[in-house]
Amino acid sequence: MDHDQNFKNLILDYPYDALELFAPSEAEMVRQGARITPIREEQLKDRLGDRFRELDVPLLVEWPNGERVGIAFAIEEETDPRRFSIHRLAHYCLDLAELYQMDRVVPVVVFLHAGNFRRELVLGTGQREYLRFGFLACALAELPFEHYRDSVNLVARLNLPNMRYAPQQRVDVYAHALRGLNALEADPQKKSKYMDFIDIYAALDETEQKLYVQKYPQEAEIMSNFAERFRQEGRQEGRQEGRQEGRQEGEAQILTRLLARKFGELPVDIRRQVESADSERLLLWSERVLTATSLEEVLQ
């Protein structure tokens, strides 16, 4: 299972809620007029070298003040705490600070499972300490489900299945996660996307799915109807896009024949220009063919 990609999408879609859950000690300051943008991984690869030094979702937080103060959140999802490398995280944060010329870097590590991991890195000798590095850790499996059951933080609600609860509570956890998604997310595409997220991490078996329908019949029907409607709309949009692409392709073929008949064999770049044009431009060019004396005059 690609946990990294699942959490990357979650953090990029809901950065404020993600920071509020994963880094609550810093989130309040971030909400005070800040702008959050993802730092593209492609910008960092050459700088950081091999993949071992990459983290999942670096975010840049900026305030609109004269000094343009920034904080970079380096958020790393680790499924197994034993795989976590504090040295890698320290390398990454130092490179990030140098690259963006900032001293305010907040490293955050999200763990799906509970476990032991090194929380601090200290470099030095018996005479002197030269470097002390720590980070914010959020072990989802240690967060009590009851504390976030009715939260208005969407990232918290989506992660209810990853929190701590008794096995017999799994169906209730699933229901509260879906209820939060339905109440807090209005975008149908994102709602469908994160229904899958909840399904993946709740992992209800067949018996639990039946119990969910029995205990929450109204909500189960609402979510089922939404999922079916979204699939139907997706298929309809796909067919409409296909028809539009088909018409556009036919228009391009007709214009290509007209141009070739009037001006002779067409250069490859001209064919590509025609094939990539939209319907409005193709119509304009077709009207010019009758009076134009050159290809340049048609395609200007």
Q: Tell whether 176 is covered by a domain.
A: no
Cα 39 to Cα 57: distance, rounded to the nearest angstrom: 8
Give the best-scoring range by mean pLDDT among 171-175, 213-217, 244-248: 171-175
Same domain, 126 and 252: no
Q: What is the pTM of this model?
A: 0.70
Q: Is 217 part of a structural domain of the chain?
A: no
Residue 241's pLDDT is: 52
pLDDT of residue 230: 57
Instruction: Give dist(CA 189, CA 9) in Å, integer.
Output: 13
Position 278 in a domain: yes
CA distance 28 to 97: 22
* Domain count for the chain: 2
Considering the domain architecture, whether residues 110 and 4 belong to the same structural domain is answered as: yes
* pLDDT (0 to 100) of residue 257: 72
Q: Is 135 found in the same domain as 2?
A: yes
Inside any domain, residue 251: yes
Mean pLDDT, rounded, for 259-282: 77
* pLDDT tens digits for range 129-145: 999 999 999 999 999 99
Could you tell me the pLDDT band of residue 247, with boundaries at 50, 70 and 90? low
List all residues 6 or more positions away from 143 whose beta carbon is below 8 Å from its beta carbon: 163, 164
184 occurs within a structural domain? no
Instruction: Among 142, 174, 197, give the residue marking a domain's end.
Output: 142
If pLDDT is split at 50, 70 and 90, which confidence band does 153 have? very high
The helix or strand, by DSSP H or E, that contains position 120, with its residue range, turns out to be strand 120-124
CA–CA separation, 87 and 94 (whole Å) = 11
Which one of 127, 142, 157 terminates a domain?
A: 142
Residue 168 lies in a domain: no
Residue 73: pLDDT over 80: no
pLDDT averaged over the chain? Answer: 80
Range of the domain at 260: 230-299
Quick one: pLDDT band at residue 112, thresholds 50, 70, 90? confident
Task: Give the model's pLDDT for residue 52.
Answer: 40
133 and 242 fall within a common domain: no
Whether 138 and 255 share a structural domain: no
57-66, 75-84, 210-219, 225-234: range with highest mean pLDDT: 210-219
Per the domain annotation, does 179 fall within a domain?
no
Could you tell me the pLDDT band of residue 233, with boundaries at 50, 70 and 90?
A: low
Q: How far is CA 117 from the centre of its chain?
A: 27
pLDDT at residue 199 is higher than 50: yes
Question: Of the candidates 123, 142, 161, which is a domain's last residue?
Answer: 142
* Residue 287 φ/ψ, nearest 5 degrees: -70, -30
Q: Is 222 part of a structural domain of the chain?
A: no
Q: What is the pLDDT of residues 7-66, one digit of tens each?
A: 888 888 998 899 999 999 888 777 767 788 887 544 444 444 444 445 667 888 887 775
233 compared with 213, residue with greater pLDDT: 213
